[in-house]
């Protein structure tokens, strides 16, 4: 699991203010959030009746975007299906 925390420090900070903010972040769980990988997000996405489950959709490497071999415009894999939609066969 990866966690990410963002804290704001004024532009003209002193090192003591910086270290105090970091110490406060270490104690305050509400400032932290879990970071999901692209693969984790993609695996939980429902693509029923969406471009990403169409035989014409060509996904770009390491992305959620792709092109359409049927001549439709470039876009995300979660875009609703068009009239040329053909579901990919499982397996």
What does the block give as tokens for 3? 């966690």
> CA-CA distance, 14 to 89, in Å (whole number)?
61
Question: DSSP code of 11?
Answer: T
**Angle value at C-alpha 32, between 28 and 34, nearest 5 degrees:** 150
Q: Is domain 46-91 given the CATH code 2.20.70 in the classification?
A: yes
Query: Residue 80 and residue 56: Cα distance in Å, rounded?
Result: 13
Per-residue confidence (pLDDT) for residue 40, from 0 to 100: 87
Query: Which pLDDT score is estimated for 47?
Result: 93
Judge whether residue 91 has pLDDT over 70. no
pLDDT band for position 60 (cuts 50, 70, 90): very high
Answer whether residue 9 shows pLDDT above 70.
Answer: yes
Sketch the domain layout of the chain as residue ranges: 2-35, 46-91
Measured CA to CA, the distance from residue 91 to residue 76 in angstroms comes to: 23
């Amino acid at each position: 699991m990866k966690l990410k925390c963002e804290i704001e420090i004024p532009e003209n900070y002193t090192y003591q203010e910086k270290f105090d903010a970091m110490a406060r972040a270490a104690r305050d769980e509400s400032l932290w959030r879990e970071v999901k990988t692209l693969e984790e997000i993609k695996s939980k996405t429902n693509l029923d009746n969406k471009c990403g489950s169409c035989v014409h959709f060509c996904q770009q490497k390491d992305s959620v975007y792709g092109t359409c071999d049927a001549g439709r415009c470039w876009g995300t894999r979660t875009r609703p299906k068009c009239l040329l939609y053909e579901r990919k066969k499982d397996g």
